[in-house]
């Protein structure tokens, strides 16, 4: 792909990803708060539902049709090789624990990477009617107030530019995380304690919702000590295009690092110092 082709290819994939996320989100809403939903526990103790699998199949089939040479990595169905240099990362329902308990803080995640660089990211929160999306060099945007038609569509709403908050004092920051057990599992309970002490407010608004909050200026710090690539894939480009930063615990801007720190940028150095205990 030539430098001249790169922006067009990125824009094309962003437009596709927005539509694909909404289609997958519509599938998940058909099962949301359904008492008959079948839930299984996987070997890693995470849960999966038929909605996860149906939504991911929908996404994979759509990619195969529109971008047959692109690689795909998904939470439920693994990896498919490609030859274009593009790789899609899919999490059909991020926050399945919330989903199965009828809590609306779950989302469909789509990320696209070109030769190792994060290019496209989408966070769709179907039960909240919100979507946050970005493409490299094209800004980050937020649509909210969408209504599901009960079938496969959502109402059209105006988009606004997504921007992180201007807060520059840790003591005024809202800190979020997904799962306390991930700090226990990684021997980082001390990190959690330090972050709670250093920041102004802690709330457990986790999974993709926490990252969306940071990207739209409603929270300042979102931290996950354990993060799969399909969970991390949209976050780097979304946060950076919104004016923030996304790195690993070690401070590396990398969706493959296994941990995630998202901030409004102004607090990133301070947040990493708290995490490292320095």
> Which residues, 6+ apart, have CB-to-CB distance to 163 below 8 Å?
140, 216, 217, 242, 243
This prediction has a pTM of: 0.96
| Residue keyed to tokens 């922006």 | 7
For the segment 147-195, what is each residue's pLDDT rounded down to a tens digit?
A: 999 887 899 999 999 999 999 999 999 999 999 999 999 999 999 999 9
Residue 139's DSSP bridge partners are: none
Domains and CATH numbers, the chain: 6-161 (3.30.540.10), 170-276 (3.40.190.80)
d(CA 94, CA 74): 12
For the segment 101-123, what is each residue's pLDDT rounded down to a tens digit?
A: 999 999 999 999 999 999 999 99
């Amino acid at each position: 792909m030539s430098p001249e082709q790169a922006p067009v290819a990125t824009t094309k994939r962003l437009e596709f990803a927005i539509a694909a996320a909404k289609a997958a989100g519509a599938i998940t809403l058909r099962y949301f708060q359904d008492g008959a939903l079948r839930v299984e526990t996987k070997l890693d103790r995470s849960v999966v539902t038929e909605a996860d699998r149906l939504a991911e199949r929908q996404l994979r089939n759509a990619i195969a049709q529109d971008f047959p040479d692109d690689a795909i990595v998904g939470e439920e169905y693994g990896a498919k090789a490609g030859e274009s240099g593009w790789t899609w990362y899919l999490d059909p329902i991020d926050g399945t624990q919330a989903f199965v308990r009828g809590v609306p803080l779950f989302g469909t995640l789509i990320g696209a990477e070109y030769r190792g660089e994060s290019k496209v990211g989408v966070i769709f929160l179907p039960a909240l009617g919100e979507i946050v999306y970005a493409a490299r060099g094209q800004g980050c945007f937020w649509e909210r107030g969408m209504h599901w038609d009960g079938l496969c569509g959502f109402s059209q709403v105006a988009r606004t530019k997504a921007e992180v908050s201007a807060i520059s004092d840790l003591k005024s920051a809202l800190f979020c995380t997904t799962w306390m057990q991930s700090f226990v599992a990684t021997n980082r309970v001390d990190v959690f304690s330090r972050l709670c002490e250093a920041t102004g407010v802690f709330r457990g608004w986790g999974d993709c919702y926490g990252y969306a909050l940071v990207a739209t200026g409603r929270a300042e710090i979102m931290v996950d000590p354990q993060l799969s690539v399909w969970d991390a894939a949209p976050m780097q480009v979304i946060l950076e295009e919104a004016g923030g930063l996304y790195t690993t615990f070690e401070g590396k801007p990398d969706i493959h690092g296994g941990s995630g720190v998202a901030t409004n940028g102004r607090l990133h150095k301070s947040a990493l110092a708290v995490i490292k205990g320095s």
